[in-house]
């Protein structure tokens, strides 16, 4: 039997399957709404210091996410803080 080659994301999901739990319909709707609310629908171009970008990429890599996703999450958290 051949072993299927998984992407990094697929492998991460498979490695963490025991952490996934069933949710009721109400909680599922709340999760779905949160995803819709967080949908990225705007583009931002910004110049940054190359050393800062290297550090951001390193931190994102340690977390296992793309650096653009990491930056987007940081911006979101700052925007929500009041």
Structural Rg of the chain based on CA atoms? 17
Does 1 reside within a domain?
no
Question: For residue 45, is pLDDT > 70?
Answer: yes
Residue 44 lies in a domain: yes
Determine, yes or no, domain membership for 48.
yes
pLDDT band of residue 2 (cuts 50, 70, 90) is low
Judge whether 25 lies within some domain.
Answer: yes
For the stretch 48-63, pLDDT in tens is 999 999 999 999 999 8
* 62: containing domain: 9-80
**CB 33 within 8 Å of CB 22:** no
Measure the CA–CA gap between 60 and 45, rounded to whole angstroms.
Answer: 19
Q: Is residue 4 part of a domain?
A: no
Q: Model confidence over 6-44: pLDDT tens digits?
A: 888 888 877 877 676 788 899 888 878 877 777 778 899
pLDDT at residue 64 tops 90: no
Domain count, the chain: 1
Please work out, in degrees rounded to the nearest 5, the angle formed at the alpha carbon of residue 31 by the alpha carbons of 28 and 36.
125
How many other C-beta atoms can be found within 10 angstroms of the C-beta atom of residue 65? 15
């Amino acid at each position: 039997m051949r072993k299927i080659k998984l992407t990094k994301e697929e492998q991460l999901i498979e490695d963490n399957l025991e952490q996934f739990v069933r949710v009721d319909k109400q909680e599922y709707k709340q999760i779905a709404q949160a995803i819709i609310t967080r949908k990225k629908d705007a583009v931002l171009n910004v110049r940054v210091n190359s050393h800062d970008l290297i550090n951001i990429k390193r931190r994102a890599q340690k977390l296992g996410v793309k650096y653009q996703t990491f930056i987007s999450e940081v911006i979101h958290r700052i925007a929500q803080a009041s």
